[in-house]
Each structure stands twice: as C-alpha cells, then as structure tokens.
A and B are shown apart, each in its own frame.
Chain A
Amino acid sequence: MPSIVEVKHLKKYFNVPHGTLHAVDDVSFAMEKGSSLGVVGESGCGKSTLGRTIIHLLESTDGQIFFNGEDITRVSKAKLTKLREKMQIIFQDPFSSLNPRYTVADTIREPLILSRRFSSSEIDLETERIMEMVGLAKRLKLSYPHELDGGRRQRVGIARALALKPDFVVCDEPVSALDVSIQAQILNLIQDLQEEYGLSYLFITHDLSVVKHISDHIVVMYMGQMVEKSPTRELFRTPVHPYTKALLSAIPTIDIHNPIKRIPLAGEVMSPINPKAGCRFASRCPYATEKCSEAQELRELSPDHWVACWRAEELNPSLKLYSKEDVL
C-alpha cells in the first residue's frame, strides 16, 4: 500500500545566536493512508517542528518529504497552494489559533473562499455542513472566539482544517490545553472524523495515554532525534530504547494497585544547539558507553519496530528480534 506521507532523513535546523539549533535531526518514517502516527516526546524534542516542516509551514533544511508517492520537498508556490488543500494542521492553543475579529463563520469560510471553487451560496451551505460535522450548533455562526469556551474553539479549529477535505492532518497537541472532560469529547470527534473521511493523522502530543488511545504507530523523539518507532501496542508492551522505557515509567497511572516502577533519569533535557555527534540521550542514559557517541543508526529490530540504539538487543534479550538476513 503506498504511503500517504513519507519522510526520509528529514532535517530542520535553525540559526540561533549561539549556533545552529538541530530541531529535527534525521527523522525517517512512512505512514499508511487512513492511519494515525503518534509523535511523542518532551518539550524541545522537535515534534512540533517536524509537523510544521512536513506541511511546509517551515522549510526543511535537508532530507525528503513525499506525499502520495510524490516528492514535495521543494515545491513551487502554485503547487504548494494545491498541496495545502490536502495537508492541514490543527493547532494546540484554542485561544491563539483563532483570529479574535473573525466570527466562527468567517474562520471556516476563509479556506473555502481562498480555494475559489465555491460560489457564495455554496460557501454558506458548506460552512453549515462543516459546522454540523464538528458538532457546532448553527446558532454559533456569528459568534466570536471570546464568546466560546476552549472545547468549542478547538472545534472551530478542526472545522477550518477540514473545510477543504484534506487527506492528511497534523494534529499539534490538539487537546493539551483543554479540560479533561472536554478532551475526551474532542478526541472522540477526531477519531470519528477519521473513520468517516479516511483521514490520516500525524498526532503530536506529550501525553502518552492520549497517544496510546489514538495512534496505530508511534514515533518517540528526543532532542530532535528519532529514537524509536513501533506499532502502538508493541511500544507499550515491549519498549526497547532506554528513553522510551524511562518515559513510559514516568506516566502517572490511575491503577493504584499496580504502580509502575519508575526509572529515574538524572539531569535535564538540553536544547540541541550545536550538539555533539551520537545519541543525545547518552548523557542521561544509565546504559551509555563510549560507542554511544558515534552516530546511531535507526534499525528495524522486528517487523516495523525501529530503534536507534546499538545496545538494543543486548539490553532486551527476551525481545523477539530478527536480522535483515532473516527477511531476505
């Protein structure tokens, strides 16, 4: 099955006063149409930058991006205009992602107007249809963002993203800023829309329980590097990379009778400015050795389970791993 989005060795660097910030450093993965890929990591890991680079809100520094098999790494303005109708984004902050002077209808209509595919009457009809699709009552058409609560505003953001029926949507922490009870409503909505319209999601979040609920596959990032990629169930059942293990152990669970044994991590996450070669987690990893300062390769240890750690097999002897030769 051809992938809807594929990135190969994608890099995004920023020039900052102290040097170069390696926000996204050599990330590669492929996503199937209709699936959800979760991207998890803590602040500064580059997940938001990754999402924005894929849909060209930021220009990549190196590497390739493919959409439906086509190389879209560098595109002309005209081509980008067409692409944008197919690749959209839902933002994290429902307060800053809506223009305070635009009514709900204005926000949803804008993509329709700009696409130039609709007449004025059609636009009105479409707007109402979209509002219904995301669960917004018609009477909110002329409401302003400040009159709505976080959950409703986020629905407006979702409506805007889905107005032109995209195929691929980057969800950048869409529920992090919402109350728990509203989070559940919006997550359900996002899932329902995916089923109904066959959407593919790149779901960026720091919340592991949310990502487990909504994703088919998960990519774990640390300081711009991709450390692990695996189908969701397998990641939670058998995490391989030491960072993934520590991350999963840190989640506060509500099962009070089975608390997770925490793997303590010393130190803090640094900002990847002018980083040294090799694994960036090494300075905090309990299993680090000299060899970790060499560039780590992302290797497929078992079907679709990729890890960037040269000690993966050694530290996980019980894992059913296979080598490339077995496949061939």
Chain B
Amino acid sequence: MKIDDNNVLLSVRDLSVEYHAGGEIIKAVNGVSFDVLRGQTLGLVGETGAGKTTIAKSILRVLPEPPSKVTGGKIYLKGEDLFSLPEKQMRKIRGDVVSMVFQDPMTALNPVFTVGDQITEAVRHHSNLSKAKAMKRSVDMLEMVGIPAERYNEYPHQFSGGMKQRVVIAMALCCNPELLIADEPTTALDVTIQAQVLDMINNLKKERNTSMILITHDLGVVAGVCDTVGVVYAGEIVEFGTKEEIFDYPYHPYTRGLFGSIPKLDVEVRRLHAIPGMPPDPSNLPEGCCFHPRCEHATEECLCGKIQMTEIRPGHYCRCCHATELEVKHAIDC
C-alpha cells in the first residue's frame, strides 16, 4: 500500500526498537510493518513481552530515550515522517491527532485533580477554547462516556475501575483524535464492565470515524472489536490479515497455538493444546524464526536467517516457511 494513499492514516515500516539495560541489548521490536486505514481498527495480539506496548509508545514517541533506542524504521502519519518531527510538533500531535489509553486505569489518572479538570486540561492544551468552553466540552465528553455531569468535580478515588477507564477514554477522545491507541484497555476490568466499555469504544469509533490500534492478549476482545489483526511474537508480526482471515484461516503455528490454548465456550476438549516451552528471552533471541524452539513443525529451514512475510492468501500475510504446507484449520478447531 502506498504511504501517501489518502486512505492510509498510519504507516509503520520496518520499525526496530532496542532497550539497553545492564549491559544487555534487549530487542523489543524487530522490523515491524503495518498500515492502519482511516476508520479501521487494528488489533495487535500477543503475550507479555512481545513488544506491542513498545510499538504503541514508539508511534507516540513517548519511549524514554535511554534506555530505549529506535534502531530503524519509519512511522508515517498521514504521509508525514514522525521521527523527523521536532518535539514541539510532536506535542501538538499527541492528544490531538493521536491519543493513547494506557493499560491500568487505576494509575492513569492524577489523584489530586478532579476528573473534570483533567479532561479540561487536555482540551485547553490542544485548542484555544476559553476555560468555560473547555469545561463545557469536558462535561459533554463525560456524558458521552456515560458519566453524569454532576461528577465533574469528583476525584479519581471516588470512581470504580470501570468508570475510571471511561474517564481515561473520555480524555483520550476529547480532542477528536484521528487515531486512538488503546493498550489493554479492558484487561483490569470485570467481564460485564469490559463488555460495556468495548461497546462504548465501538460506538464512539463509528460516530467519529476514528481509527484505532487495540493492543490486547485476549483474542475474544479482538473478535468483537477489530477489523484487522496483527499477531506479535518476539517483536515481530508473525501473521497479519483481516479478522475473518485470521480467525477462519489461522496459519502461523503460534497463532494456532494461541487459539488452541484458550478454552472455548462451545467446544469441549479433554485437554488444552498448550504451546510447549516459554516465550523467548528478548536479550537472547533464537536464530532464524523466533518461534522455532516451540514449534512442532520446525525444520532445518527454520533456522536460516530472518523469515520473510509471505502472502498466503489475498491480504493475509504469514511469517512462516511452512505455512502453505499446513492443513487448513479454523480458530475454533485449534
């Protein structure tokens, strides 16, 4: 896809990020590329340590410079190279064009300010609205996320987890960003609250045609909210495609392994098909395919150099040299 195609909002090309800590080099992200179209939701799925949060923070350029270091790649937002922008311009983009919802709602809000003031602060930072107008905007946002206006002057500790997360989402959306990055927005929430929050995000997204990158380890959440899916393992995207493609025809052994590991509601299995072994140490990644030590289909070929992404079905990419040899399986059969 061309970078300057008007429909493409965000384009990540060969992003690589390292962390330097204690004399070790931790390869958090290794050559990640993907596009996010306008109005589209991309789900980045993977387990802890796969590098998803690092990718998100790189887009916003909020990674602490030491110990982290972007060692390669580019990120284009509406055709503009984000890494070449001066910090002053980045500040204009953060919160306004690209916004982020962090994982833990308990710690994302400042406990000494009222929730209303926190949203107002965000609004005033990105616009020229007067204080009164900004406050009105905040109240509107609160109501939009289902929090009554009377609670404007309450403090974060007076809200439950689910409501705090809604406040955080209101803050993220108050300036009408074109891209929302949500890092595990519902992991810390109860299932019924999670359903509410996801529905809300979905509706808001549709109303405003916001693009979204949703980072999660929960494939069920991906199924409910995302349009495209990127499976992340050891800092690489190992499979990429539309939701239907990934769920109906998962190819990469890791993707299949993930589906196999989850107990499914409608299918009964005697034992779960667990992936043996453990995720790799990012300071000591295996040669060739990062997944090969845990893969039941691994052969000699898998150790030879970096495996490239191949298009195995239209629009469906997989980073596995044996992908085409595997029999077709649906997600629920894994």
Contact = CB atoms under 8 A, between A and B. Distances in A.
Q: Do chains A and B touch in the complex (CB under 8 A)?
A: yes
A268 interface: yes
A191 B247 CA distance: 28
B31 interface: no
A263 to B, nearest CB: 9
Interface stretch (A4-12, A75-83, A254-262): A254-262
Contacts of B196: 264-265
A180 B223 contact: no
B332 A255 contact: yes
Contacts of B263: 187, 209-210, 212-214
Contacts of B266: 253, 255, 258
Interface string B271-314: 11111101100000000000000000000000000000000000
A265 B192 contact: yes
A252 B224 contact: yes
Contacts of A206: 190-191
B93 to A, nearest CB: 31
Contacts of B199: 262, 264
A183 interface: yes
B144 interface: no
Interface residues of B, number: 48
A298 interface: no
A42 interface: yes
A254 B192 contact: no
Given A151-B278, A188-B272, A179 B195 contact: no
Residue among A149, A181, A183, A208 with the highest chain B CB neighbour number at 10 A? A181
A269 B261 CA distance: 30
Nearest to A185: B274
Interface stretch (A84-92, A243-251, A272-280): A243-251
Given A42-B192, A250-B192, A253-B223, A183 B261 contact: yes
Given A185-B274, A247-B191, A180 B261 contact: yes
B224 A259 contact: yes
B48 interface: yes
A152 to B, nearest CB: 8
Contacts of A254: 219-220, 223, 247, 259, 262, 264, 331-332
Contacts of A269: 160, 190, 193
A182 interface: yes
Contact of B47 (A179, A252, A259, A268): A179
Nearest to B198: A252
Contact of A184 (B161, B223, B274, B331): B274
A302 interface: no
Contacts of B269: 213
A180 B264 contact: no
Give the 9 A-B CB pairs with smallest separation, nearest first.
A252-B220, A213-B263, A184-B274, A184-B261, A42-B190, A250-B195, A184-B272, A179-B47, A181-B275
13 contacts: A42-B190, A42-B192, A180-B261, A188-B274, A209-B262, A210-B263, A250-B195, A252-B198, A252-B221, A254-B331, A258-B266, A264-B195, A265-B196
Interface of B: 47-48, 160-163, 190-196, 198-199, 217-221, 223-224, 243-244, 247-248, 257-266, 268-269, 271-276, 278-279, 331-332
Interface of A: 42-43, 149, 151, 179-185, 187-188, 191, 206, 208-210, 212-214, 236, 246-247, 249-256, 258-259, 262, 264-265, 268-269
Given A43-B161, A264-B196, 12 more contacts: A42-B190, A184-B262, A185-B274, A187-B263, A187-B272, A188-B271, A210-B263, A249-B195, A250-B192, A252-B221, A254-B259, A269-B193
